[in-house]
Amino acid sequence: MDISLSPDNEKFLQSQVAAGIYNSINEAINATLSIAISQIEISPDEIANLRMDIAKGMDDIKNGRTHDCIEFMDGLIAKYD
């Protein structure tokens, strides 16, 4: 397969490899595509629910209602797992 990248995309991928985030351009491209695919697979309802949870969390923080981080993350994992 022959793929042409825009100069900006190629520069970005090269910077990721140079920074040691990925071992090769191919690895960087595959990781980037995996991220894009996972974003497509999230349903609009899941996004809406996540946005509501974020808004609730921000409201809780503003009003001093905070939780232990580990307990909170465990609850999110249980909800979305």
What DSSP letter does each residue of 7-26 carry, written as one string?
A: HHHHHHHHHHHHTTS-SSHH
Identify whether residues 35 and 50 lie together within a single domain.
no
Instruction: Examine residue 75 and state whether it is found in any structural domain, yes or no.
Output: yes
* pLDDT the model gives residue 15: 94
User: What does the angle CA 55 – CA 60 – CA 62 come to, to the nearest 5 degrees?
Assistant: 95
How many domains in the chain?
A: 2
Identify whether residues 34 and 54 lie together within a single domain.
no
* pLDDT the model gives residue 67: 63
Instruction: Examine residue 49 and state whether it is found in any structural domain, yes or no.
Output: yes
pTM above 0.75, yes or no: no
Identify whether residues 34 and 52 lie together within a single domain.
no
Q: CA 35, CA 14: separation in Å to the nearest integer?
A: 18
- Domain range for 36 is 7-40
pLDDT (tens digit per residue) in 30-74 = 999 998 888 787 788 888 999 999 999 899 888 988 767 888 788
* pLDDT the model gives residue 1: 78
